């Protein structure tokens, strides 16, 4: 984490002037990388309790910085207006940019649904760790703002698109992400549960959106692409509600891919040629998903350890082996794969909400690790 976001002095009192390091995106911010950055800082705050307040301060500062950069337009530094629809009082009402280096083109800036839901999850983690309501208020503000912009109708049925423009007015990629509806369904329920706990919103907040995700899931196919990151995030989202039919289907596919394809291929030693086409962060995504799911998976966890050991020297020692733009995302996801921590942290909240319990104040709200 220090290689990406440092230097920071954990022995000193929290310093409000600390600015997070370059996460590899536009103006130094990349939404996916920074979401994992927040989750990792919160995990560290729990693992090192004496230094907890300092780590939570770093997480707060990172969240504020992302909102100030990716919640604004791409104009030269110093003149960025907030994204359309956002205000100083509601800074996420205009969504959040991905943080792509290019402004346009096939891999240009815009908004991805799966990046936005991961950011909402990170804000939810931060709210529960700090006890500060503003983070869940911002997460729900973002959820309500972006949701209708990704919704479309295909052949008379509700569906979604994968990528929209910075102003949320144009569709950039019209296909639906494999996990976008499932992840939205799970994360929005988490947000609703946390909001109920804090009493920031009515009990039905996000219910229309959750119901729409459920309808899309009901008439759609749950399928994974075989990409390591896809299977890892599939297992991650499935572990929050293991008994649901969609979760059993998703985890069955993901575990089959992990056993038959991913671990066998990823356990091969890195060579000068192979690491050029093996994307480390995707393999780490698979590893953290397996670790989060983990129930009865001892042989798979041994395979995960092998994969992480293979990458260890590249992550901790070799500064020059890879594209500098990928280094931040590789490092934060490597850290998360080593200790998933708060990626496992809200199973109890979701479980209690499934049972219809709305008073969560007397229950542990995140994983004790």
Question: Is residue 254 included in any domain, yes or no?
Answer: yes
Question: Is residue 210 within 8 Å of residue 216, measured between CB atoms?
Answer: no
Rounded to 10 deg, the angle between the 280-293 and 327-338 helix axes is 20
CA 23 to chain centre: 15
Question: Is residue 126 included in any domain, yes or no?
Answer: no
Question: Is residue 252 included in any domain, yes or no?
Answer: yes
Question: Is residue 301 included in any domain, yes or no?
Answer: yes
DSSP states along 176-238? PPTTHHHHHHHHHHHHHHHHHHHT-S-TTTTHHHHHHHHHHHHHS-----S-HHHHHHHHHHH
Tens digit of each residue's pLDDT (9 = 90 or more) over 67-122:
999 999 998 655 679 999 999 999 999 999 999 999 998 899 999 999 999 999 99
Question: Is residue 52 included in any domain, yes or no?
Answer: no
Tens digit of each residue's pLDDT (9 = 90 or more) over 335-357:
999 999 888 855 445 544 544 44
When the pLDDT of each residue in the chain is averaged and rounded to a whole number, the result is 88
pLDDT for res 162: 97
Picking from 358, 299, 307, the residue whose alpha carbon sits closest to that of residue 337 is 307
Number of structural domains (the chain) is 1
Question: Is residue 262 included in any domain, yes or no?
Answer: yes
Structural domain span for residue 237 = 222-357
* Intervals of the chain under pLDDT 70: 12-16, 48-51, 76-79, 272-276, 318-323, 345-369
pLDDT for res 16: 61
pLDDT for res 267: 87
């Amino acid at each position: 984490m220090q290689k990406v976001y440092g230097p920071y002095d954990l022995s000193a009192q929290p310093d409000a002037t600390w600015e997070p390091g370059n996460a590899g995106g536009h103006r130094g911010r990349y939404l996916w990388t920074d979401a994992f950055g927040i989750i990792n800082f919160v995990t560290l705050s729990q693992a090192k309790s004496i230094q907890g307040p300092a780590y939570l301060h770093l997480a707060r500062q990172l969240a504020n910085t992302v909102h100030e950069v990716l919640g604004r337009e791409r104009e030269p530094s110093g003149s960025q207006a907030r994204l359309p629809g956002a205000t100083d009082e509601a800074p996420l009402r205009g969504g959040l940019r991905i943080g792509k280096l290019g402004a346009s083109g096939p891999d240009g800036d815009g908004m991805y649904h799966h990046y936005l839901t991961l950011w909402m999850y990170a804000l939810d983690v931060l709210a529960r760790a700090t006890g500060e309501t503003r983070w869940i208020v911002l997460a729900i503000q973002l959820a309500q703002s972006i949701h209708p912009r990704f919704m479309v109708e295909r052949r008379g049925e509700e569906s979604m698109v994968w990528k929209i423009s910075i102003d949320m007015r144009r569709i950039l990629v019209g296909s639906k992400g494999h996990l976008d509806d499932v992840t939205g369904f799970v994360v929005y329920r988490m947000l609703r549960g946390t909001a109920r706990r804090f009493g920031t919103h009515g009990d039905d907040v996000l219910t229309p959106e959750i119901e729409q995700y459920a309808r899309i899931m009901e008439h759609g196919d749950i399928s994974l692409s075989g990409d390591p990151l896809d299977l890892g995030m599939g297992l991650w989202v499935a572990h929050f509600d293991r008994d649901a039919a969609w979760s059993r289907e998703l985890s069955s596919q993901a575990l089959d891919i992990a056993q038959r394809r991913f671990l066998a291929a990823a356990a091969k030693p890195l060579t000068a040629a192979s690491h050029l086409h093996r994307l480390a962060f995707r393999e780490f995504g698979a590893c953290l998903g397996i670790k989060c799911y983990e129930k009865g998976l001892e042989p798979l966890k041994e395979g995960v350890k092998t994969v992480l050991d293979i990458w260890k020297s590249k992550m901790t020692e070799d500064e020059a082996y890879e594209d500098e733009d990928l280094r931040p995302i590789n490092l934060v996801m490597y850290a998360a794969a080593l200790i998933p921590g708060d990626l496992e942290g809200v199973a109890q909240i979701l479980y209690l909400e499934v049972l219809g319990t709305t008073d969560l104040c007397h229950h542990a709200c995140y994983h004790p690790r």
